[in-house]
């Protein structure tokens, strides 16, 4: 049975998966900094901009969640399933997520963030090398 409104559940879910995406981006940033890339800066710039966008959105989501007295709490995590408790003004709803589904949601968020990054310039590369 659903105890939270659709809006509340969507807000909390977006916050949860965006938080996970930020963790992934920060880990990737460290891997690129330490990795054997010939040219690192474009990748670093892209990830840093994605992190900035994600943090800005998460800050806005957190404010909305505070206004609604909405919280997300990790209950349990194992190899296949993660359980979260969503609490809003005394109402509680437990949600179980299949970990590969979480990965897909986070990946989709990363794609979305990447598409929001403005391109500094457009170049057309000719095939005359």
For the chain, the average pLDDT equals 91
Which tens digit of pLDDT belongs to each residue from 21-31?
A: 999 999 999 99
What whole-number percentage of the chain has pLDDT above 90? 83
pTM, 2 dp: 0.87
Q: Please give the average per-residue pLDDT across 25-53, as a whole number.
A: 94
* Residue 84 confidence (pLDDT) above 80: yes
Looking at residue 61, its pLDDT comes to: 98
**Neighbouring C-beta atoms of residue 18, cutoff 10 Å:** 21
**Structure-block tokens of residue 108:** 């989709």
Looking at residue 121, its pLDDT comes to: 63
* Residue 89 confidence (pLDDT) above 70: yes
Residue indicated by tokens 């919280």: 71
Give the whole-angstrom CA distance, residue 59 versus residue 57: 5
Q: Please give the average per-residue pLDDT across 71-93, as a whole number.
A: 95
Question: Residues near 55 by Cβ (< 8 Å), separated by ≥ 6?
Answer: 22
The pLDDT confidence band at residue 127, using thresholds 50, 70 and 90, is low
Looking at residue 118, its pLDDT comes to: 84
């Amino acid at each position: 049975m659903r105890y939270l409104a659709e809006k509340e559940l969507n807000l909390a879910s977006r916050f949860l998966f965006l938080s996970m995406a930020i963790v992934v981006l920060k880990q990737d940033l460290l891997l690129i900094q330490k990795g054997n890339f010939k040219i690192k800066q474009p990748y670093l710039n892209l990830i840093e901009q994605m992190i900035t966008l994600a943090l800005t959105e998460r800050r806005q989501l957190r404010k909305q969640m505070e206004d609604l007295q909405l919280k997300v709490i990790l209950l349990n995590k194992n190899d296949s399933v993660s359980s979260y408790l969503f609490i809003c003004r005394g109402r509680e709803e437990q949600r179980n997520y299949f970990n590969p589904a979480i990965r897909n949601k986070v990946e989709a968020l990363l794609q979305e963030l990447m598409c929001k990054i403005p391109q500094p310039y457009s170049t057309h590369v000719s095939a005359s090398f």
